[in-house]
Amino acid sequence: MKNPNITLLNTEILSDNWYTLNKVTYSILKKNGSTETQSREAYDRGNGAVILLYNTATNNVILTRQFRLPTYINGNPTGMLIEACAGLLDNDNPEDCIKRETEEETGYKISKVEKVFEAYMSPGSVTEILYFFIAEYSSEMKINDGGGLEEEGENIEVLELPFEETLKMIDTGDIKDAKTIMLLQHLRIKGIL
């Protein structure tokens, strides 16, 4: 049900180069009964899915490392970020998307995933909702080296790390990606590893 206190008045495209940056003007009915007009920018990059692969026999997880320009220009000296496998839905449902991304990025072919929750990652400026998954993996599921798709400019390093080490990496700042921290904490809270 739409919020009856909000009326969208105008949407102006500021950029549609990589994704779409809109300037949205709307009116909001305030608690005191007055109406105020506001404008905000909203970045629409589509929705995505993320997964954390875990192995209960070895207590390891699969993560990736890749260059992320926004972190580089905001103080990450190498621009490299350790994170859980993720991708945009690209017209797929979240489950099909994350199975495809897992194979492309990590080289593991998984058939069963468990959706754990959904979350807006930066709701003040980005429209994206992210679907969070976990799945158990084993060495038999490894069908290729992963690394992402060449035609998408991906250059992804696959990391198999002890779960306890990844928790320490959050404390040391070696893992700073929010979606990854959320999934690692989920495994801890649920007692999966």
Element holding 170 (H helix, E strand): helix 163-172
Instruction: Determine if residue 86 is labeled as part of a ligand binding site.
Output: yes
Judged by DSSP in three states, 75 sits in coil
The DSSP bridge pattern shows strands 48-55 and 129-136 to be parallel
Place of tokens 């060449």: 150
**Contact 26/7 with Cβ under 8 angstroms?**
yes
Judged by DSSP in three states, 149 sits in coil
Instruction: Determine if residue 12 is labeled as part of a ligand binding site.
Output: no
Q: Judging by beta carbons within 10 Å of its beta carbon (0-12, 13-18, 19+), is residue 78 exposed, middle or buried?
A: exposed
Q: Determine the Cα–Cα distance for residues 166 and 184; give it in Å rounded to an integer.
A: 8
> What DSSP character marks residue 79?
-
- CA atoms within a 13 Å half-sphere pointing along the CA-CB vector of 131: 19
Instruction: Determine if residue 105 is labeled as part of a ligand binding site.
Output: yes
Instruction: Determine if residue 101 is labeled as part of a ligand binding site.
Output: yes
Known binding-site positions for Mg(2+): 86, 101, 105, 154
Question: Annotated binding site, which residues?
Answer: 86, 101, 105, 154
